[in-house]
Each structure stands twice: as C-alpha cells, then as structure tokens.
Amino acid sequence: MRSHFTSLLVIIMLFTFIRSATADTCAPSFTESEVKHRVKNMPLFFKPKYTDVVGSYLRTYFEKDRTKAERIIANTALYFPIFEKYLREQNMPMDLRMLPILESALNPHATSRSNAVGLWQFIQPTADGYGLANNRFVDERKDPHRSTQAALRFLNKLHERYGDWALALAAYNGGPTRVNNAIKRARSKDFWKVSKYLPKETRNYIPAFIAAAYLYNYYEYHGIAPASHAVEIQLQDYVKVFDEISFQTVSDLTGVPTYDIEFLNPSYKQRVIPKSYSGNYLVLPAWACQALKKHYPNVQTVSGTMIDPDFLNQPNYLRTTYTVRPGDDIFKVADVFSCKPFNIKYWNNLKTDQLRTGQELNVYMTTYRKRKTAAAQAIKVSQKKKRTPVKVLPQLTNRIQPVDLFATSNEFTEKGGKNNSFQMYILKPGESLLDIAQRHKHFSLPDLLALNGWDYNINLMAGSRIKLPL
C-alpha cells in the first residue's frame, strides 16, 4: 500500500514538473513592474494607467486563456485592415481598432447575454438606428464593413458629445445616460474620477481597452505565437453586388471554395447574397475579386453551374523582400504590392506606420493568370480544393534602378506581329522581372510571364531577352 502511494506521489510530482516546464516554455516569465512600465509608456490616444483590473485582464490573455489571445492576434490580419480603412477615411484615432478585441474577441459571430451581435456588438435597437439590416437573408451586424461604418458613426457622435475618448468609449458600453449621470455626480470629465459612479462593467471598460491595446502591442513579449490565416485569406478585397447571387455561383465563377466565401462573409444567413439597390458587400481573396468583376456583369441568373470555364483563373501568391528606399512610406509600399498597410505591418511585426530607409520587409503579392490548357479548362472546381501554397521567389527582390527602359534603341531588337505585339528587352545586371513590371503601368508581372511562357520560378541571368507587352 505504501509502495503504491509512493509511486502515485512520484507520478504526481513528475506531472507537476512537466506541466511547469511546459508553462515556462509557452509563457515567458515577466514581472509586474515590466508590465506597468510598458503600459505607462504605451502609445494610446488617451493616457493609459495600470490598475489591478488591467492586470486581471492581462492574466486572462497571457495565463488563463492563451489560445484566445493567439486567435485574437491571428484575426487582426483579417479585420484590422478593414477598421484602418474606415478610421482613416473618418480621420479618427487608429487605436479605436482595439475596441472589437474586448467587444467580440474579433469574432463576427459573437453574441452577448443581451443579444448584442457582431464584431462591434450592436444590440438590435442601436443597429436599427444606424441602418444595419437584420432579416431572413442577412444580419449586417456581422458584416465587417457595414458594422464598422456604423460603429464609427456612433463613436464620432459620442466623442462630439463628451470631447474625451475615454468617456466616449464608456458611453459606447454603458450608454450616454449612465455616463451623463456619473459626470454630474463626480463633477468632472476625468474618466478615472467618473468611473466610481459607473456600473461595474462600464467602470472596467477602459481597463479592458488598455489590456486589449497591450495585448496587440506586446503579445510577442509573452510568447503568444498566433497561427496566421492563409495568405489568400489575408489578401482580401471586396466588391459590391447588386443582384442576387449564391455562394455556389461565386465559387463556380472564381474557384474559391464555398467554405472560404462563407468564412469571409459572415453576415449572410442562407449562403445567398440578396438583391439590393444600394449594393451588398462580398469579400473574397483579392485575386478572386478581379475574376468576379470580369464575369459577373454577364451573369443574368443564379444557375449554380460552371460559367465559361475558359476564363476561370488560377491564383498565385508571390513572396519576396523589399528594401525601403528614401521617400518610401508604408502606403507607397502597400500600393506597389497591391495590399493594405496593415498587411505590411502584420507580416513584419510592425506596430506603427513608420518605415526606415534600408529596412528589409517581407511582402506577399497576389495575382492571377488564365488557365490555358484544355485539361485545365475541363476541370470543375472542387469544394475540397486545397488553397494555393505561397511560392517563395528569392530572386524577385527590389533592385530597382532609375533607368528609362526606352532610353536606347539598341535595347530592343525586334517586334512581334500585329496580333501578338511586343518589344524585346535585354535584362540588365541586378535587374528582376518584378523591377520591370513595377516600372510599367500598362502590364503586370503575370502579363509579362504569360507573354514569355514562363512560370513564377523562372530565374533569369543578365543579358536574357524578354518580350515586353506593348
């Protein structure tokens, strides 16, 4: 009996040791003083303050529910570019993008006990007041675009009333009436003085916001390693659809699996986008938006069948590096690579929009090319089709030189026929195909590759002859 007890004790001690070792591996040790120092110096649109409540929220993120923290950071790649787009348009503080972290943990399907729904957690009466539809086809509280636009209008209105973002955020949570009464009782518009007169949830709202901002700014210090979404999901765009169309038809037209369409468009209840005179948002991988824009004007009915497979496009994703040059900013770089500024920040773990000359950035490009072979044209899109992997192209770096391609006539030696117009170009030392494509507005890298019959893994030497589209 004693021997059995001793063995059990040894097992328990061993389990405790292993669990402790695992926890140490996953969660780097840190002191409260370190966290307090970071909070105090954290850039925020109001002065942050470390409190016991802030510490409690941080322990939830970094100790009690690390999986949730990792999921939140991964989802910033999906939703922060949308938030930033509309915040810039409204000239509002970028820090407001943190709000859906504490509202919904960046889950568009989140529903609270009070039946608030979506990324920004609208209850139905407020949603009605800001024009968010909820019917048998769609719940726009779950629409990342429409709900964000509505939330920012609401926040702007609250800030105009209080002239203080901390109080505006408190009113977003608890309602203006509670905040107005608390201001009267405190005889102050300082949130920290007003807070003791607010209900507990609203009192803790600003500490929760501070904790969410800390999570985003310092998650790597605590060993949070998010599993990122596929690049084709990160590199998303949207179109406005005015006629009824099903997810299946969108899939048939673009090749995007219906489960990805459903994931990117959480507001549609029946996998159908209803007819709308003002247009409904359809979010897709960026390459698929190009394909849909080409085909959709010719679609008259929802047929659910493959339409004109000869023009179905196959996505390709290019991974490369870019070295920041004098005069570059994050918006210029994002424009060159057809992505969002936040994509650049996410891929390079940047917390601000600031770039420095000589800094090397990891970037991805999204593009597409036509399927040419008869066999490819005959293949129907499978719902089990795997996402296209990222192709690593180390040779496609930004060795861009300020050279006029048409400066000397001897660089071009021949022209194609009338029906296949092109000019020949001799590749210079240190030059890449990406360099050439970036210097021309009338053709893209895929056009260049298609004309020459090359794939994305081509590795050319200086002196190679290249056909350039006219």
User: Is the confidence at residue 320, as pLDDT, over 60?
Assistant: yes
Rounded distance between C-alpha atoms, residue 423 and residue 216, angstroms:
50
User: Is the confidence at residue 323, as pLDDT, over 80?
Assistant: yes
Q: Name the residue with higher pLDDT: 270 or 385.
A: 270
User: Is the confidence at residue 198, as pLDDT, over 90?
Assistant: yes
**Residue 407 — pLDDT band, cuts 50, 70, 90?**
very low
What is the reported pLDDT for 469?
A: 83
Q: Name the residue with higher pLDDT: 76 or 375.
A: 76
**Residue 411 — pLDDT band, cuts 50, 70, 90?**
very low
Percent of the chain with pLDDT over 70: 74
Q: What is the pTM of this model?
A: 0.69
Provide mean pLDDT across the span 228-243. 84
Which stretch, 95-104, 272-281, 339-348, 408-417, has highest mean pLDDT? Answer: 95-104
Rounded distance between C-alpha atoms, residue 327 and residue 73, angstroms:
30
Rounded distance between C-alpha atoms, residue 71 and residue 74, angstroms:
5
**Residue 462 — pLDDT band, cuts 50, 70, 90?**
low
Bridge partners for 322 per DSSP: 361
Q: What are the tokens at 251?
A: 């899939």
Tell me the backbone φ, ψ of residue 434, rounded to 5 degrees: -60, -40
Give catalytic residue positions.
Answer: 103
Bridge partners for 360 per DSSP: 323
Q: CB count, 10 Å around CB of 179?
A: 26
Per-residue 3-state assignment (H helix, E strand, C coil) for 77-122: HHHHHHHHHHHHHCCCCHHHHHHHHHHHCCCCCCECCCCCECCCCE
Q: What are the tokens at 94?
A: 């970028």
Q: CB count, 10 Å around CB of 7?
A: 10
- Contact at 8 Å (CB) between 357 and 324? yes
What is the reported pLDDT for 332?
A: 86
Closest CA to 364 of 386, 385, 387, 333: 333
Place of tokens 């097992």: 11
Closest CA to 313 of 299, 297, 295: 295
Bridge partners for 170 per DSSP: none
DSSP 325: -
CA geometry: angle 368, 373, 376, nearest 5 deg: 70
Q: First-to-last CA distance in the chain? A: 89
- Contact at 8 Å (CB) between 79 and 144? yes
- Contact at 8 Å (CB) between 106 and 129? no
User: Is the confidence at residue 372, as pLDDT, over 70?
Assistant: no
Rounded distance between C-alpha atoms, residue 318 and residue 219, angstroms:
28
DSSP 195: G
Q: For the chain, give me the number of helices (H) and strands (E)?
A: 21, 9
Q: What are the tokens at 432?
A: 């890449």
**Residue 209 — pLDDT band, cuts 50, 70, 90?**
very high
Q: What are the tokens at 2?
A: 């004693």
DSSP 373: S
What confidence tens digit (pLDDT) does each residue in 92-137 have? 999 999 999 999 999 999 999 999 999 999 999 999 999 999 999 9
Tell me the backbone φ, ψ of residue 167, rounded to 5 degrees: -70, -35
Q: What is the mean pLDDT of the chain?
A: 77
List, in sequence order, the alpha helices (H) in 112-190: 124-129, 144-162, 165-174, 176-186
Rounded distance between C-alpha atoms, residue 110 and residue 75, angstroms:
14
Provide mean pLDDT across the span 207-235. 89
Tell how far CA 10 is from the center of its chain. Answer: 48
DSSP string, 399-441: ------TTS-GGG---B--TTS-EEEEEPPTT--HHHHHHT-S
Q: Where are the beta strands (DSSP E) in 158-265?
A: 236-241, 245-246
User: Is the confidence at residue 30, as pLDDT, over 70?
Assistant: no
DSSP string, 4-17: HHHHHHHHHHHHHH
Rounded distance between C-alpha atoms, residue 242 and residue 275, angstroms:
6
CA geometry: angle 66, 70, 71, nearest 5 deg: 115
Closest CA to 343 of 72, 98, 106, 80: 80
User: Is the confidence at residue 144, as pLDDT, over 70?
Assistant: yes
DSSP 268: B
**Residue 435 — pLDDT band, cuts 50, 70, 90?**
confident
SS3 323: strand
Which stretch, 50-64, 335-349, 419-433, 440-454, has highest mean pLDDT? Answer: 50-64
**Residue 426 — pLDDT band, cuts 50, 70, 90?**
confident
Rounded distance between C-alpha atoms, residue 369 and residue 365, angstroms:
13
What is the reported pLDDT for 240?
A: 85
